[in-house]
A = this chain, B = another copy of it.
């Protein structure tokens, strides 16, 4: 029986990160079934993820969001992150948070590239958590990053 993976995203974000993540997950494995759930904004993500896990049997969920560049947006992102944290602790299941801040990219084109790339690389993390935990352990402390380049180990 396929393992259910939830993908929750927003109409607020300016890039369709969910499609990128879903495409990558389907390339990596056929042993999962994806359930997608789109909500208006970032602060709607935590309960949406929790509902997918409590009510629809998802084992793990990705929460895809794109905070704006203003101070108020940073506070919203913080509140959403805290909610995702509590949702995980109440379900004992991972929610992989994939947030791309609008001000991380220099223009719309780079934002589009960055958001999709980060969504894909975190989709790989979902795959490793579910099916290859030994890959993560082998890379412990290696300074891996999602989106931009890896930072690498501190001591070369």
Residues on the B chain within 8 Å of A156, using CB: 108
Which residue of chain B has the shortest Cβ distance to A8 in the bound complex? Answer: B140
Chain A interface size band reads: 35 or more
| A33 at the binding interface (Cβ < 8 Å) | no
Residues of the B chain whose Cβ atoms lie less than 8 Å from the Cβ of A31: none
Copies of this chain, whole number: 5
Q: Give the chain B neighbours of A133 by CB distance below 8 A.
A: 37-38
A43 to B72, CA, bound (A): 18
Asked whether, in the complex, the Cβ of B145 is within 8 Å of the Cβ of A12, the reply is: yes
Question: Within A1-45, which residues are at the interface with B (CB < 8 Å)?
Answer: 9-19, 36-40, 43-44
- Tell me the smallest distance from the CB of A35 to a CB of chain B, in Å: 11
Question: A89–B140 contact, CB under 8 A?
Answer: no
